[in-house]
A and B are shown apart, each in its own frame.
Chain A
Amino acid sequence: MARPSTPDRVNLARSKVLLVDHNQNSLDMLSSIFHGFGVKQQIKCGSSPEAVSILETRDVDLVLIDCSMPEMDGYDFTRWLRRETEPPIRYTPVILLTGHAAQSKVQKGRDCGASFVVTKPLTPNVLLQRILWLGADERNLVECDTYVGPDRRVRSLGPPVGMPGRRSGDLSEHVGAATEANMDQSSIDMMMKPMKVAL
C-alpha cells in the first residue's frame, strides 16, 4: 500500500499561535517565521507567567515556547498546561524550542508532556515540518498520576504516517520479483543440514 504523501497545501490562516520567549530578538524572529507561514493571529509573550495569564482567559491552537527562561521555564510551563488546565486547552500542541539542553533539564524535557522538542539551529523548513507532523500525529495522549501528554513510547513507530522516513516494520529495500528459478528441496537441505566432512 502506498503511503499518503506530505500535503502540498496547508492552511494556517485561522490558527491562533502563542509564542513565548524572553529573548526579544528570538521572539521577533519566530514571529516573522510564522507570518511567513501565513499565521495572522499571533500572541507574543516575553515570559511564561504572562503566557499563563493569557491561557487562563483564551484558547490557542499551538504554543511555541523557549525552554530556558527565567522564573518559569518552558518545561514547567508545559507541565502546568498539561496538569493544571482544563480540556481542551490542556491538550493544546506544544513545541519546545531549545538551544542548549543543560544536563539538569534533560529529564524535565522528557517528562513535561511537550508534543515536540525542536533543537537549534532552527530553519523555517524544520519548523513547518514539525507543524505538519502535528497535523498528522497518530500518537495517543496519556493521562496518569505522573504524566500527561503524548505517548512517549514511539521509538519504533518512526515519523507520522505520510511523512518520509523509516519505521520498524519497513523492509530495508524493495525486493521485487524473483529473477531465478526456485531452489529444489535437496539444495535447500544441503544448505541447512550440518554434515560431517571427511578431510
Chain B
Amino acid sequence: MSEARTFKIKSTLARQLQDPGGSQVRDLERQATARLETHRDDAMAAVVATLDALDALCAEAAMDAGPRVYAQASSIVDVAGYFDTGPLFHAAYSLCEVSDRMLQAETWHWPSIRVHAQALRLILASGCRAGRTSETLLAGLRSINQSR
C-alpha cells in the first residue's frame, strides 16, 4: 500500500475572491436572490408537470415503475429546493425517502406513493403555505415513512 501524500494548495478561486474591487457580500446575496426569484413561476409550472407525470405513473402502477417514481420525486426536490416551498419540499423529500427505501428492500407499495402524490397536490393547491393542514399531512407522510 502506498503512503498518503498531504499538501496545501491555494486555489485560483481563493486568489480571485481577494481581487481588488468586488462587491459587498450582502449585495451579491441580494442580487442573486432577486435573479433567482424571476424563475419562480417556471419552477412551479415544472413541479406541476412532474406531479402530472407522477399521477400517470400511479394510475399505470407498472411493476417496474419504482425508479421512475424516485426520479420524479427527486426532480420535485431539485426544483422546489431553490425556493422557500416548505411543506412541498418536505413532502417530496418524504416521497424520495419512501421510494428509495422500498427500492432497496425490493418491496413496492403503491398506496404509500399515491398518498404522497395526493398530499403534494393539496400542498401545491394551498400555495405551499405552512399551517395546520400541511403539518397534519406531513405527519401522515412521516408515519408512512416510519412504517415502510
Given contacts A8-B25, A10-B17, A61-B13, contact A68 B74 (CB under 8 A): yes
Chain A, residues 39-71, CB within 8 Å of chain B (1/0): the string is 000000000000000000000011000101000
- Tell whether, in the assembled complex, residue A38 and residue B97 are in contact, meaning their CB atoms are under 8 Å apart: no
Question: Which of chain B's residues has its CB closest to A15's CB?
Answer: B16
| A25 CA to B48 CA, complexed, in Å | 13
**For residue B73, which residues in chain A have a CB less than 8 angstroms away from its CB?**
100
**For residue A134, which residues in chain B have a CB less than 8 angstroms away from its CB?**
11, 13-14
Say yes or no for A72: interface residue by CB 8 A criterion. Answer: no
Chain B, residues 5-41, CB within 8 Å of chain A (1/0): the string is 1111101111011111111110011111111101100
- Tell whether, in the assembled complex, residue B82 and residue A121 are in contact, meaning their CB atoms are under 8 Å apart: yes
- Tell whether, in the assembled complex, residue A26 and residue B82 are in contact, meaning their CB atoms are under 8 Å apart: yes
Q: How far is the CB of A152 from chain B (nearest CB, A)?
A: 12
Instruction: Give the tally of cross-chain contacts (CB within 8 A).
Output: 181
**For residue A144, which residues in chain B have a CB less than 8 angstroms away from its CB?**
2-5
- Tell whether, in the assembled complex, residue A91 and residue B16 are in contact, meaning their CB atoms are under 8 Å apart: no
Give the residue of A11, A61, A136, A141 whose beta carbon is less than 8 angstroms from that of B6: A141
Say yes or no for B58: interface residue by CB 8 A criterion. Answer: no
- Tell whether, in the assembled complex, residue A37 and residue B11 are in contact, meaning their CB atoms are under 8 Å apart: no
**For residue A36, which residues in chain B have a CB less than 8 angstroms away from its CB?**
28-36
Chain A, residues 129-173, CB within 8 Å of chain B (1/0): the string is 001101111001111110100010000000000000000000000
Q: How far is the CB of A191 from chain B (nearest CB, A)?
A: 46
Say yes or no for B100: interface residue by CB 8 A criterion. Answer: yes
- Tell whether, in the assembled complex, residue B6 and residue A29 are in contact, meaning their CB atoms are under 8 Å apart: no
| A90 CA to B105 CA, complexed, in Å | 37
- Tell whether, in the assembled complex, residue A29 and residue B11 are in contact, meaning their CB atoms are under 8 Å apart: no
**For residue A151, which residues in chain B have a CB less than 8 angstroms away from its CB?**
6
**For residue B32, which residues in chain A have a CB less than 8 angstroms away from its CB?**
32-37, 124, 127-128
- Tell whether, in the assembled complex, residue B46 and residue A140 are in contact, meaning their CB atoms are under 8 Å apart: no
Name 24 interchain pairs, CB-CB below 8 A, sorted by A. A7-B25, A10-B23, A11-B21, A13-B19, A14-B19, A28-B39, A28-B42, A29-B36, A29-B39, A32-B32, A32-B39, A36-B32, A99-B96, A100-B73, A100-B100, A121-B84, A121-B85, A124-B33, A131-B13, A132-B25, A140-B7, A141-B9, A143-B6, A151-B6
A-B contact sample (11 more), CB < 8 A, given A33-B35, A68-B78 = A9-B23, A11-B23, A23-B75, A23-B78, A33-B36, A34-B32, A35-B31, A35-B35, A61-B11, A93-B11, A131-B17
